[in-house]
Structure 1
C-alpha cells in the first residue's frame, strides 16, 4: 500500500459533514487544515457546493456525487477525475453522479484546461479524496459493529465484515463517519488492485448530449437577457467612423454599441443581429501594420538569412563540426496560420450589476476570465463569479478571454444581462490563430553517416520561442545550435493544440528522415542509435526520458511490422510533448499507381491509462486533427483579413478521409501524464515520410495539398 504523508494530506480534506444523514467531503487543492467535521443542513451543503471547486458527497441512499473542477472540452476529464476518486473509495460506479464545479480559486489552484496537465496535477489529490472518505466510512462501520477496522472490506459501495457476516452500503454509515476526524496519513491502493481505473467507461455526459440536454455555452439562456453579435476590425486597423443607421432599422435590433475597437448590435434574437451586422458601415484606418501572406513569405526568408536570433541551446563546437563534415544536409520547413475551428464558436454570458459581475460560459481559463473582467471594469476580482459550462471544443482558443470581456463590456454599456455569440465567420476572421512558422535545419554527417552536428533556426509570428531546444535530438548530438526569432505581428496568435510542437514535430521528424536517407540508414534504426547515444553518453540537458521514447519507438516498429512487407511503404515519426511519448507509422500501398493511405499505427506512453475509452478517443482525435491540418488547413491574409471565412474555403478533414487507426499503449509504470495533445504532433511527419517513401516527393510545407510536390499525387484514403 502507498502512504500519503500529512504535507500532502493538507492539500486535500476540507470538511466532512452530515446533511439529512449524508456525508460531505469537500477537497481543496491548496493547503488547508483538516477540521473536525460538523453537521450541515441540505441548504448549507448546496450553498457550500456552489462555491467549492470539487467535492465528494455520499447520501444516505449510498449514492455518490463528485464535482469535477476542471473545464471539460472533450478531453474526458469530467469522467476520468471521478473514476480516480471512485477507485480509491471502492464505490459502485453505477451509483456515481458527476457535476461540473464552478470557479473557486481559494480552494483550487489549477482550475483550468490546457497543456494536457489536469490529470498529472490532480492524480494524487483525487486518490486521496477517495481514500480518505473510504477510511472514514470503514472506521464508522467498525465502531457501529464493534469490530476491528482491519477486518472490514469494501467493494462496490458495500462495507462487509466477514467474521460477523455484517454488511451495509455507504449511506448507512455516513452519519457516524461525519463525526470523525480524518487521519493524518491515508493509504492508497496498489495499482495492481485497481478495478475501475483501466476499464472502459462511457462519458458521463453522453446521455445528456445524445438527448439534447443543455450543457454547452450556446445552450445557456437566462430570462430577460439580450443577445449581441459583434463586427470586429481587420488586424492592424482601427475604427475611423461608424454609420449604424441601417443596422438600427432592422426589426429586433434594440441597440448598437461601440466597445473598444468593435461595434456590437444588440437585440432579442441572433438572426436579426446577423442581418444587422452586415448593414453596419464601418470605416477603418491603419493602427499598425496591415499584413498579407505575401509579406510574411518574404519576411521569413529575410529573417532566416539575417535576422538576429535568441540562442536557445549551444552544445560543443558547431562551426568545427560542420567544417569537418563529410556531408551536410539542409532543409527548410514552413507552416501557415491555422484557426482553432471548435465546433462550438465562441460565446459568453455576462451580467454586470454595479461592481458585481456574473459570468457564464465555455472557458478553458475561468480564473483568467474573472481577473481580466475585474481589471477591465475596475472592480475587485472577488466580485466576479464564473459558472463553467461544457465546452464544444477549444484546442487552446478558449484560453483567451476576449469573448468574455466583450460580453461584460456590452452588459455594462446596456445595463442588461447579455450573451455574446460569434458566428463561424467571426471565429475564422476574428480569432487568435496558430502562429505561422518557418524552420531551417542543418545536419552534419561524418564519413560513417553519424550525425555530428545539428542546427535549427526558427522564425515565428508572435510564436514566442518557436523551438523546443531540449527535445530530441538534443542530447544525442555532440554539437548543437538552436536559435529562435519571434516577429511581432498585428495578427493575434494563441496556443493551438500542442503549441509549437504541432508543426515542429512534423518538421523535425521529416528532416530526420532526410538525414537518415543521406546517411544510408533505416529511419527507425537511425533514431534508435541517436537515443542510445543520449542514454549512454548524453550531451547537455535532456528534456525527455530516453527509455520511454525508446519504448514507443520499438513497440511501434513491432506493431506496424516495420519494413517487413515490401508492398507497404511506411513512414515513421516519434515525438515527446506534454509529458507523454507517441510513435506513429503510416502505411501507404500503391493501388493502380495511386498512393493509398491504409493505416496509421500509434503507440503511446502516457503513463497509466485511466479510461481506455477516453484515451482511445484522445489518440484517434489527435491523429485526425494532426492529419487534417497537415493535409488541408491553411489561413492566408490580405490587408489584415483572412481570405478563408467559412468551411467552404477553410478546408477541414472529412470522415471519409480518415484511415484505419490502430492504437496501442506502453505501460511504463509511470503515473498518468498528458494525453489531450501528444498524439497530434507526430502525425504529419509519419504521413509525409510515407508519401516520400511511396512517391519520392519530399513535402516541406503545409498544407500538403497546396504544394507543387503534391500537385500530381492523388492520395487515396481507404480503410481496411
Structure 2
C-alpha cells in the first residue's frame, strides 16, 4: 500500500533575497497554500522564520535547517524529517539541524503525534521541499558559471561542474538561488540513489539529552512562576467540602484554589506542594450509584456479552447457517484490564493567562486541542493563545488529552500568575486516562473438512468506543462472519493507549486463531497462509489490508526464525496489520527446570522504506518490550473509584532482566513509508502466549499472564 500525495508549484513561494543573506525555502504541509522563501543572514532572522510553515533554510555558511511541526515524543521524527529533506537536497548531513516549530493553525495542517501518521503524511512533501531547493541552487550555479544546468551535479552541499572541476557551496549560491523562479515539476531521486535515507543516523537531540539541556516540560522556568499540584476526586465522585487551613500553613504555599471539583495547592516549589496537599481535609460524595470496581466491571462485561444490545460492525454471508451446519465449533473469551500509560515524564504544563492572551509551554501530542481548551477557559480568542511544544518524555497516547493543560490554565487564571502544574507518579496512575478494559467473545465454525467457514467476534469495553477492528484480518478470508461491539459508559476516564484497541485485540485474535488452527489440525503459520490465499483469490466482502504485504512478513518471519525446525524450544506465531504497516513475530519459549522462559522474539516489519534504520529498529524493539511487558506483568484494578496500583511498587512493569533477545528484520519493498510508532506492539502478546501454550499446554486468555490460574504451577522465568 502506498500513500499518494500530490504537490505542485503552488506548494512553494519565495521572498526576495536581501544582500548578504541565505536562501529560505518554505514548505506548506497541507499542499494547498504556498510556503515562503526568505533570506536569513543571522540567528535573529532565522528565529523569525519560526512564523513560517514547515520550511527548509539555507544559511550563508551552508547550514541547513528544517522546522519540524510534529511533537517529538521518542518516535524520532525530529531526525527522520530532516534526513528526507537533506537527501533530496544533497546536503552535507554534518551541516543539517532541526528546530521545533510552534503551533500555527494557519500554516500547518497536522501538528499531531498520534496514529503513526507523521511520516506517511509528510514523506513526499519533504522530498519536494529538498528537491525544489536543490534545483534552484543548480540553476543559480549554472548562471554564475555560464554553463548548462544539465552539466551540473550536487553532493554534500556543493554544486559541481565536472567539465571544469569547479565547485560552489550552497551557502555561496543562496542569495542568487532566491532570484530563481520556483520550478513547477521537480523530479525526485530514484530510491537506489539515496545516500542519507536508509543509513543509521543518531537522534539529533542526543547531545542535548545526554548533557541535561532543557528540552522537556519539567525543565520550563519563567520569572515569577508559581508551581501547582491538584487533588482530584475519585472516579464517580464530586467535591462536597474541604478545609485548607492546615495546607495554607505550610511554608512556601501561596494559595489554595478550587475548580471543577478539584482542589489545587499553589506555591514556590514542589516540595511544599507535596506536603500541603496531604493536609487538605477534603470530603467527596458519589455522583450517582455504586462506586466502580474491577469486580463490578467483570459483572457488567458478562451481562452485556450475554444480554446487551450490540452494534453490528461487519457481517458477511449467513453466519447462523454456518454455525448451524458446522462439524466443529470453537469458543473462547479473552479479557484485558485497564492500564496506565506510565510515561517517564509525568503530566505537566506551563500556562500564563494574561488579559491579552495565554502562553502555553509543555509536552503535548495535540497542541491544537490544548490551544482550544485554553482559549475557552481563559475567555480569549484562540488567536491570542500561543503554544510552544517541548520534547515529550513519553506519551503513548496519554498526552493526546488536554486535561493537564486545562488544569494549568484554570490555576493560572485563578491566581493571576504564570503557573507550572505538575502531576506526581501517583497522580498519573490514579488520575486516568487508561487503556480501556475490554472483554471479547470468539466463536469459529469448521466444516467436515476442517475448513474455517464461520467467525464471530463480540467485544465489550468501558468507554472504549468501537472495541473491534472489523476490517482487519481474518475479515475477508472467512465466508460467514459477524463482528459486533458494545460500549459501556463509565466514570473511569479512558484514552488511546499505544496502538489503540489493537494493543489487546491482536493478542486475543491471534491466540484464538491458534486455537482454531489446532482444532483444524493445521500448523499455525500454514493456517494463516491458507486464509490469506482465500482472501487473495476469493475475497469475501471488502479487503482493507494488503494481502501480499501480510503474506510477505508471515513467510519471512517463518524463514528467519526457523519455524518448526528447532528442537527443545516452543515457538509461537502472531501477525498483525495496524497503522498501515505489517508485523509478524515468532516468540521462543524454553522450559527451564520446569518453568517456561521467554528466550527470544523475532520480528519482521513491513513499513515501506525505512528512513533511519537506527530509529526504526528502536521503534520496533520499544514497541515489543512495551507489548510483552504489559501482556505478561502489568495490571490495574479499580476499587471504590480509584486505581489500587498507585506507583511502580505495585504497578508492575517489565524489568531489564526479563527482556529476551530480540531479532529484527525489515521488508525492503521500496514503497512509501507507512506507520512505525505503534505496529510492532500489537502482535507481541499473541506470539508469547502461543509459545507458552506449546511449551506448557496452558492456554492464556487473560492479561497479565503471571496472574492467570493457568500458570499458577509455573514460575514465569527470565532468560538466563
Equivalent residue, structure 2, for 1:312:
313
**Which stretch shifts more, 601-610 or 32-41?**
32-41
Structure 2: distance between partners of 1:713 and 1:425? 32
Q: What residue in structure 2 maps to residue 321 of structure 1?
A: 322
Give the corresponding residue for 1:403: 404
CA positional deviation for 1:597: 1.2
Return the offset for 1:350. Answer: 0.5
Are the equivalent residues in 1 in contact too, given 2:41–2:59 (CA < 8 A)?
no
Q: Does 1:214 align with 2:214?
A: yes
Q: Which residue of 2 aligns with 1:125?
A: 125
Partner of 2:201: 201
Question: Partner residue of 2:98?
Answer: 98
Describe the shift of the 1:705–1:37 C-alpha distance in structure 2 as closer, same or farther (beyond 3 A). closer
Give 3-state SS (helix, strand or coil) of 1:716's partner.
Answer: coil
Distance 2:527 2:251 in 1: 68
Q: CA deviation at 1:604?
A: 0.3
Alignment partners' CA distance in 2, 1:38 and 1:286 = 60
Q: Is the 8 A contact 2:442 2:457 kept in 1?
A: yes
The structure-2 alpha-carbon separation of the partners of 1:14 and 1:106, relative to structure 1 and needing over 3 Å to count, comes to farther
Tell me the residue number matched to 1:383. 384
Deviations 1:132-182 (A, max 9, x none): 111111111111111111111101111110112110211010010112221
8 Å contact from structure 2 (residues 152, 161) kept in 1: yes
Match of 1:263 in 2: 263
The offset of 1:34, in angstroms, is 4.7
Is 1:173 aligned to residue 170 of structure 2?
no
Instruction: Answer with 552-561 or 44-53: which moved more.
Output: 44-53
Task: Work out the CA distance in 2 between the residues paired with 1:284 and 1:296.
Answer: 22
Structure 1 position 683 matched with structure 2 position 684: yes
Q: 2:279 — aligned with what?
A: 279
Indicate the residue corresponding to 2:186 in structure 1: 186
Q: TM-score, normalised by structure 1?
A: 0.97
Could you say which residue in structure 2 is the equivalent of 1:237? Answer: 237
Aligned length: 716
Partner Cα separation in structure 1 for residue 64 and residue 261 of structure 2: 49
The CA distance in 2 between the partners of 1:39 and 1:59, in whole Å, is 8
Runs of 4 or more above 3 Å deviation: 4-9, 11-20, 31-48
Q: Go from structure 1 to structure 2 and tell me whether the alpha carbon gap of 1:188 and 1:223 turns closer, same or farther (over 3 Å shift).
A: same
Aligned mates of 1:420, 1:56 — CA distance in 2: 35
Shift of 1:248: 0.3
| Structure 2 CA distance for partners of 1:199 and 1:31, relative to 1, 3 Å | closer
- Inter-CA distance 20–285: structure 2 relative to 1 (3 Å threshold): farther
Is the deviation greater in 199-208 or in 61-70? 61-70
Match of 2:250, SS? Answer: coil
Change (3 A) 1:543 1:5: closer
Please give the alpha-carbon distance, in whole angstroms, between the structure 2 residues aligned to 1:708 and 1:647: 23
Question: Structure 2 vs 1, CA of residues 191 and 7 (structure 1 numbering), >3 Å: closer, same or farther?
Answer: closer
- Deviation of 1:8 after TM superposition, in Å, equals 3.7
Residues 5, 186 of structure 1: 8 Å contact kept: no
Instruction: Quote the residue 1:65 is aligned against.
Output: 65
Quote the residue 1:148 is aligned against: 148
Matches within 5 A, 1:687-702: 687-702=688-703
Which residue is 1:536 aligned to? Answer: 537
* Mapped partners of 1:121, 1:703: distance in 2: 35
Residues 638 and 37 (structure 1), Cα distance of their counterparts in 2 relative to 1, 3 Å cut: closer
Partner residue in 2 for 1:556: 557
1:226 aligns with 2:223: no
Q: How does 1:532-611 map to 2 (within 5 A)?
A: 532-611=533-612
Deviation track 1:430-459 (CA, whole Å, cap 9, x = no partner) reads 120000000000000011111000000000
For 1:288 and 1:131, locate their aligned partners in 2 and report how far apart those are by CA, in whole Å. 61
The alpha carbon displacement at 1:219 in A equals 0.9
Q: Equivalent residues in 2 for 1:704-719 (5 A)?
A: 704-718=705-719
Change (3 A) 1:216 1:376: same
Structure 1 CA distance for aligned equivalents of residues 304 and 532 of structure 2 = 32
> 1:438 maps to what in 2?
439
Aligned equivalent of 2:511 = 510
CA RMSD of aligned residues (A): 1.6
Q: Is the 8 A contact 1:333 1:701 kept in 2?
A: yes
Question: Which residue of the partner structure matches residue 82 of structure 1?
Answer: 82
Query: Do 1:53 and 1:102's aligned partners in 2 also have CA atoms closer than 8 Å?
Result: no
For 2:588 and 2:203, the matched residues in 1 are separated by 31
Deviation, 1:668, is 2.5
Match of 1:658 in 2: 659
Alpha-carbon spacing, 1:12–1:658, altered in 2? closer, same or farther (3 Å):
farther
Are the equivalent residues in 2 in contact too, given 1:15–1:34 (CA < 8 A)? no
Structure 1 residues 542 and 209: alpha-carbon distance in aligned structure 2, compared to 1, 3 A threshold: same
Q: Give the unaligned 5+ runs of structure 1.
A: none
Cα 1:118–1:19 change in 2 (3 A) is: farther
- Please state how far the C-alpha of 1:261 moved relative to its aligned partner: 1.4
Tell me the alpha carbon deviations over residues 319-356 of structure 1, each in whole angstroms, 9 at most, x when there is no partner: 00000000000000000000000000000000111140
* Contact 1:343-1:392 within 8 A present in 2 as well: yes
In 1, distance between residues paired with 2:603 and 2:40?
50
- In structure 2, what is the Cα distance between the partners aligned to 1:256 and 1:10? 54
Conserved in 1, the CA contact under 8 Å of 2:21 and 2:39? no
TM-score normalised by the chain length of structure 2 = 0.97
Whether 2:416 is the aligned partner of 1:415: answer yes
Q: Which residue of 1 aligns with 2:427?
A: 426
Give unpaired runs (5+ residues) of structure 2.
none
Once structures 1 and 2 are overlaid, which stretch shifts more, 667-676 or 568-577?
A: 667-676
